[in-house]
Amino acid sequence: MSNTSLSPARTIKSLLLTTIIIFATMTIALPALTLATSVGFQFVPLVSVAPDDPAGFTVTNPACTSPTPIHTSAFLHCYTPNDIYTAYNVARLHQQGITGKGQTIIIVDSYGSPTALQDLQFFSTTFGLPAPDLTVINPDGTPAFNNAQMGIQVGWAFETSLDLQWSHAIAPDAKLVLVEANPAETEGVQGFPSMFKGEAMAISQFPGSVMSQSFAVTEQSFCGGSVLSTTCSAATTQISMFNQVYQQALANHVTVFASSGDSGTANIERAAGVSAGPLLPFPTVQWPSADPLVTSAGGTWLQSDWKWDPTVTTDTFNSCLASGASFNTCAATYLNFNTGTGRTEAVWKEDWAGIATGGGRSTIFSTPSFQSGISSSLLQGSRGLPDLSWNAAVNGGVLTFTSFAGARVGWHIIGGTSASSPQLAGLVALTNQLAASKNKGPVGYLNPLLYKLPSRDFNDIVPLTFGTGAGVTTLADNSELGTGIPGMPTTVGWDLTTGFGTPIADNFVDDLVAAL
């Protein structure tokens, strides 16, 4: 599908992008992302920020009401740290004093945020968390913040805020290290990118830590040029260079996470000669999430004490928008919901915004030994991802506070697999604290241990049906609406959309420590 022929859902995504929403999954060419051959590919943050209600629009019982300064959303739900603690049994660990004390979480982002610390402090104070301990590493000098660069730096500032605040929420006593890369210095395959230089520095300084990477590039982007291909020798060559950092992490017992992506199996080739597109005409996955030395963090749609109940189809919703009606008018039937329904968790696939969890088979990496227990007919000789998941929904996103220039000051509802990776990193920081109390070393390379854990440690994600009447919808794969690219099926047990599912935190931590 040409990126000039957009479905209504992808048009919505592009519209949301103009206000730094669904930033990582755009399919239109933007001048600031046009890359010359001398520059190479460019990483993008996998952050998805919910749209605000129109000015003056109010409902009696909004889906989300934030803390002060109060922000409401009529149809899009939001979660506080306590909500997530309850949904994933993190609260039980905190009650036992397992809060990440003595552990370190490394967050890696380009540009960072000029208000990262003060926003993190406001978040902590609001939710009664300990004062954060934050160290910033600038491998190529402090990046200059410019909110006029087509939203690129604002997108990374949202990403940075999300990563710091929600890794801190899960492991509130862990030390945070922010690598603020300056990609203008050594971007692309011609030099060692700034963020990987920063990662190497952080891994060296903080052995035994956990690292979260909420950025990605399609595997095929390493091929370069304008020829779209499934794989190429250049990809193997370039990735082997970056892989040195993950080998360093392995040697220093650092656990490495990366987000699996927000476009399902429909991705673009961000490479020399290609201007932020077009869609690759076959299912693809993202790197570094695909690297076997990295734990791939997929996404789910957590609905806690509410349940999506659409009464119209996605096509009807899109037709409503195409008629010129407001988003909230059209959402009233499509994003309809019921309350008091307990806990529901589906594969992350929100067709109203054209977003879905990344997942599938790598074209670069073969099946690693730790996946030998997964059906060979499913993996087909490839590295399969994601490995496990966490809530990544926008309708049901996490509350994040920002005050940097270029965006509304206040609380935002944020989702994307960018939310999955830092929270899972926080969970491993809790594991490392418990391990240390038992005179054991840190988790380090997680994947070989992860694939030996019992089923009691996960919420298995299976196909689920929502809606009433014409709106009945089954979420059973990670296809991105409107692309024509087939998704991977969501099934009982491990699958190529959510991996093992989401951790039941207390069981997961206890059994992971026992496996060390």
Residue 1 lies in a domain: no
Say what the pLDDT of residue 132 is: 98
Q: How many domains does the chain have?
A: 1
Burial class (CB in 10 A: 0-12, 13-18, 19+), 38: exposed
pLDDT in the model for residue 269:
76
- pLDDT, residue 189, reads 42
Residue 499 is assigned to a structural domain of this protein: yes
Residues constituting the chain: 516
Residue 22 · residue 262 · CB < 8 Å: yes
Per-residue DSSP letters for 204-238?
HHSTT-EEEE-EEEEGGGGG-SS---S--HHHHHH
Q: Is the pTM value of this prediction over 0.85?
A: yes
Element (H, E) at 356: strand 355-356
Spacing of C-alpha 119 from chain mean position: 20
- What b/e sequence results for 119-139 when a residue is b if at least 16 CB atoms lie within 10 Å of its CB, and e otherwise? bbbbbbebbebeebebeebbb
Distance separating alpha carbons of residues 480 and 502, to the nearest angstrom: 21
E strands present in 358-495: 360-366, 382-385, 388-391, 397-402, 410-415, 458-459, 464-466, 473-475
Q: Is there a domain that residue 257 lies in?
A: yes
Structure tokens at 298: 């997929």
pLDDT number for residue 276: 55
- Paired tokens of 253: 């017992």
Check residue 370 and give its pLDDT: 98
Residue 86 within a domain: yes
Q: Which residues of the chain are modeled with pLDDT < 50?
A: 1-12, 14-40, 184-191, 225-227, 272-275
Residue 2 forms part of a structural domain? no
Indicate whether 3 belongs to any domain: no
Residue 135 within a domain: yes
Contact 304, 87 (CB under 8 A): yes
DSSP string, 310-323: -SS-HHHHHHHHHT
Place of tokens 């590039």: 217
Q: What is the pLDDT of residue 277?
A: 59
**Distance (Å, rounded) from C-alpha 253 to C-alpha 247?**
10
For residue 155, give the CATH number of its domain. 3.40.50.200
Q: Which domain holds residue 348?
A: 8-515
Instruction: Please work out, in degrees rounded to the nearest 5, the angle formed at the alpha carbon of residue 464 by the alpha carbons of 452 and 166.
Output: 60
